[in-house]
Amino acid sequence: MSEHVTHLGLFEDAARVTLHHPRMHEHFKQALRASWRAGCLGAITRSGDRFSIGLISKVRQSWESTGASRALEDKLAFLLGWRVHQAADRRFKNVFRELQPKHYQYPNPAPPDATVYHDVVVFREVYGYGRLAPFQPAALDYRLESNAFAKHAEPHFVEAILRSCWQQTLLRNQRFLANEKDPTAWQKLLEARIEPFTVDIRRYVDAHGNPDPGWYQRFIVAQNFYNPEDPLLRVARDLQHGKSVTEGVLLASLQDVDSQSQYAQALANGITYIHAANAYWNHEIDERELGRRFHIGSSHLETPAKESAP
Amino acid sequence: MTDISRRDLLVGTALWANPALWALAEGAASADPTFPGGSIRPGDVARTAMLHDAVILTMLSQGTPASIRHLLALEPADVLLGQALASGVPAGTEKPQPDALRLGAKMAAAADALLQPMLPTNTTERDACLLYWDVATMLGSSGSPGPLKEAIPMDQLRGFFEALHRRLFIGIHTLEPDAEDIEGWIERIVAWDAQREGMSDRYARALATRDSAEWRRFVEEAGFYSVEDPYIRLALAARKGAVTSTEASARLTASQPACVYAKAMQAAIRAAS
């Protein structure tokens, strides 16, 4: 299970740190500046462990042979987002399972409430209650009441129609629709690739506007999910709001992350993955070592071996 | 809090646009011209809403054969998927059910036959026409005849759609990549995202232009959508669950649609029966 707002917040924070990190390759910064949105998409995409090594290998080879292009920038930014997604999963999946194990027992596919509470905290702390892009304050209003246009259309109907348009178009981006000729295989792919909308937005509306005090205490406070006073999160917010951060402060914030909040730890893990990609991009490590540093093959429920960010 | 019910999920997933109409929209989503992929385009909202209404009223109508009603109730997703996938479904698939797929394709084709001749032949005008059909459909969802009577800031107009898109991102949790073509899929999903956001801007601009020649030509003069149309009124009530099967059946037979949207809806309903 993953959650959209937290994954997006972590990627954008990791990307901002990367842009200001003295040891990150200029190509990474170039890709993030040009293709931020592609990175955001990578941050909310499944299966990153399966494809990361092959993708960065091909992108690096193409970049070195033909030079930069927008398509390569998109793919590199997407890859960085994909790694931050995996870092978040490795930090939080075991937390969710411990907090609400019933949500992982078949056949209950509903995401745990802790994921919803994580998201509304990030919505508040990173995205200013939705005032900051790409969010909107009305996104977590039940009927988008705070939006001036919402009373002129039926928002739930428009949402349902757009939802259908999304599923139609996302599915049409899958090649199996045209290429797979075996009926059984086609059917299995259809069921696997169709995007189900499994999260009821009312859970978010409730958690945002009327949070359960017990759940908030249990999922957020007791877990130390997010602490705005964490050195790394202060750096992330300063960078987000255009304040200057010295190199020394930035590097220091990446030390001793175990004493910081879960969000800060996930962010540091994401930056560590980007450092691993950076080392590979610089030909300092081979694919095998990159796979080890990406923790490819290790379960998301295991605590990965510690790698400190340079 | 429970998860979304199966029915809600299916209704949400289901209302697929007609592939014949997709081809009317211009532009490829991908750098690979042999596989253009999919992006949200002008006209998607209007025709998806129309098919949505047609399916609901077909289910409510007592004139619909029992086998069809059963099929719609049992496998609405398969029926509606058929609108989009019928041409691409390999022979021999056991599920989605061939009957359901055929039904969806049949309903969409009937509506398409009525809608296509209404579209301008000029590419730019056709694109504008489809966009204003979308806008009229969205305004009509609240029972408003449109266009907007009051000035609403662009950031609020655009923000309405971006808020909905962000809710949809939350709803799907994560994107499922095309495992057989990762690099191509990244290109396509980047294009999809840009087009998705671009549509928010286009909807907002069309809504903000409250006295436009396009609205008069493509909506009013073409008679595309009218909240006074008896079929539209019935569909609006049916969306809220505020009409019984008996009442829906009586109103479907006692009245005739007048606007294009309603006529296309009627054609789809008749095709199902």
> Mind listing the pLDDT tens digit for each residue in B215-264?
999 999 999 999 999 999 999 999 999 999 999 999 999 999 999 999 99
| % of chain A with per-residue pLDDT over 70 | 94
Find out whether A262 and A226 touch, Cβ atoms under 8 Å.
yes
Instruction: List the one residue out of B49, B58, B47 whose CA is nearest residue B12.
Output: B49
Position A177 pLDDT exceeds 90? no
Instruction: List the one residue out of A4, A79, A175 whose CA is nearest residue B179.
Output: A175
Q: Chain B contacts of A85, Cβ < 8 Å?
A: 174
Q: What is the DSSP letter of A138?
A: G
Report how far apart, in Å, the C-alpha atoms of A294 and of each of A14, A152, B141, B179 are: 16, 49, 49, 19
Map residue B14 onto helix, strand or coil: helix
Rounded to the nearest 10 degrees, what angle do helices A4-20 and A231-240 cross at? 80
Position B32 pLDDT exceeds 90? no
pLDDT tens digits, A210-234? 999 999 999 999 999 999 999 999 9
Burial bucket for residue B270 (CB in 10 Å: 0-12, 13-18, 19+):
middle
Query: What CA–CA distance (Å, rounded) separates A196 from A216?
Result: 27
Q: How many residues does chain A have?
A: 310
Residue A274: pLDDT band with limits 50, 70, 90: very high
Lookup result for tokens 């979304």? B4
A189 occurs within a structural domain: no
Distance from CA of A156 to the nearest CA of B (A): 9
Asked if A203's CB is within 8 angstroms of B15's CB, the reply is: no
Cα within 13 Å of Cα(A142), Cβ side: 6
Find out whether B157 and B138 touch, Cβ atoms under 8 Å.
no
- Structure-token pair, residue B7: 């029915």
pLDDT tens digits, A132-148? 999 999 999 999 999 99
Distance from CA of B206 to the nearest CA of A (A): 13
Asked if A182's CB is within 8 angstroms of B183's CB, the reply is: no
Query: What CA–CA distance (Å, rounded) separates B227 from B136?
Result: 10
Average pLDDT on A149-171 reads 91
Query: What CA–CA distance (Å, rounded) separates A76 from A67?
Result: 13
Instruction: List the one residue out of A12, A91, A71 whose CA is nearest residue A44.
Output: A12
Report how far apart, in Å, the C-alpha atoms of B237 and of each of B17, B49, B242 are: 22, 14, 5
Asked if B17's CB is within 8 angstroms of A165's CB, the reply is: yes
Map residue B271 onto helix, strand or coil: helix
pLDDT tens digits, B157-181? 999 999 999 999 999 889 999 999 9
- Structure-token pair, residue A266: 């996930």
Instruction: List the one residue out of B193, B135, B217 whose CA is nearest residue A39.
Output: B193
Q: Chain A contacts of B90, Cβ < 8 Å?
A: 180-183, 186
Asked if B52's CB is within 8 angstroms of A195's CB, the reply is: no
Give residue A19's domain range: 4-109+224-293
Find out whether B158 and B201 touch, Cβ atoms under 8 Å.
yes
Q: How many domains does chain A have?
A: 1
Question: What is the Cα gyration radius of chain A?
Answer: 20
CB-based contacts of B5, cutoff 8 Å, min separation 6 = none
Query: What CA–CA distance (Å, rounded) separates B116 from B47?
Result: 11
Query: Is A111 or B131 the better-scoring residue by pLDDT?
Result: B131
Query: What CA–CA distance (Å, rounded) separates A255 from A232?
Result: 9
pLDDT of residue B22: 30
pLDDT of residue A53: 98
Helices within A217-286 (DSSP H only) = 231-240, 247-253, 262-281
- Structure-token pair, residue B232: 């539209």
pLDDT of residue B83: 61
Distance from CA of B149 to the nearest CA of A (A): 10
A190 occurs within a structural domain: no
Reported ipTM: 0.95
Query: What CA–CA distance (Å, rounded) separates B241 from B236?
Result: 9
pLDDT of residue B15: 28
Q: Where are the beta strands (DSSP E) in chain A?
A: none
| CA angle A277–B176–A270, rounded 5-degree value | 30
Asked if A173's CB is within 8 angstroms of B37's CB, the reply is: yes
A303 occurs within a structural domain: no
A20 occurs within a structural domain: yes
Average pLDDT on B131-138 reads 95
